[in-house]
Amino acid sequence: MEVNGATHTLLLDNRCTLLDVLRERLGLTGAKKGCDHGQCGACTVLLDGRRVVSCLLLAVGLDGSRVVTVEGLADGGTLHPLQEAFLAEDAFQCGFCTPGQLCSAVGALAEIREGRPGLATGEDGPVPSPAEIRERMSGNLCRCGAYPAIVRAVVGAAPAVAARAEAAALTPPSAPTGEAG
């Protein structure tokens, strides 16, 4: 399994969830164990570019998959545009849901770029409407009620995220690095 660009070969109990492997075996504690039922979104990560709730996925079935957690969103010392927007909009309070919100937002914006319609999809072009972001992010709960700032951050970052994705598509991929864990 590749996690944040590093390849890991793991011997796992077949009952381990991806969330447990990320947190307990790989030390990546960004994804949170909120409800452990896939209902809150605190454990959202990207799996092969799509957002998933990691508490419901058995890790043993993910051999060969690419996982990106909140720890892998930044490019070295440069924050991801969504991370910058969350800071600028103060789109968090306690921060518990923020990693899942960020990964979900990255996935939601990718869905929009790919032309995958949602219930509130309109003709918004590269900048989705607040209604579309609210609908696409509805599976991610925030106990503090920072939703208005989260929506502003995602809408505001959408053009920069699209530009980053376009630039990445033009750059040849590098070989994954890392240590077996």
- The domains found in the chain, sorted by start residue, are 2-72 (3.10.20.30), 81-170 (1.10.150.120)
**What are the tens digits of pLDDT across the range 19-75?**
999 999 999 999 999 999 999 999 999 999 999 999 999 999 999 999 999 999 999
Token pair for 173? 């991929």
Residue closest to 70 by CA, chosen among 111, 118, 23, 103 = 103
DSSP 3-state of 139: coil
pLDDT confidence of 173, banded at 50, 70, 90? low
Q: What is the pTM of this model?
A: 0.90
pLDDT confidence of 166, banded at 50, 70, 90? confident
> What is the chain's mean pLDDT, rounded?
91
Q: What pLDDT, on the 0 to 100 scale, is given for residue 170?
A: 83
Contacts of residue 100, Cβ cutoff 8 Å, sequence gap at least 6: 31, 32, 34, 40, 41, 42, 43, 44, 70, 140
Whether the predicted pLDDT of 179 surpasses 60: no
CA dihedral 130, 169, 3, 154 (to 10 degrees): -10
Q: What pLDDT, on the 0 to 100 scale, is given for residue 131?
A: 92
**What are the tens digits of pLDDT across the range 80-89?**
999 999 999 9
Q: Rounded distance, CA 175 to CA 7, Å?
A: 10
